Amino acid sequence: ITVRSEIGDIYDKKNGALEFVVKTSRATNQKNELVAEMRTVLVVRH
Cβ proximity of 8 and 36 under 8 Å: no
Q: pLDDT at position 11, please? A: 97
| Residues in Cβ contact with 30 at an 8 Å cutoff, skipping those fewer than 6 apart | none
Q: What is the pLDDT of residues 16-36, one digit of tens each?
A: 999 999 999 999 999 999 999
CA 41 – CA 21 distance, rounded (Å):
6
Whole-prediction pTM: 0.78
Q: pLDDT at position 2, please? A: 98
Exposed/middle/buried for 33, CB within 10 Å: 0-12, 13-18, 19+?
exposed
CA 29 – CA 36 distance, rounded (Å):
10
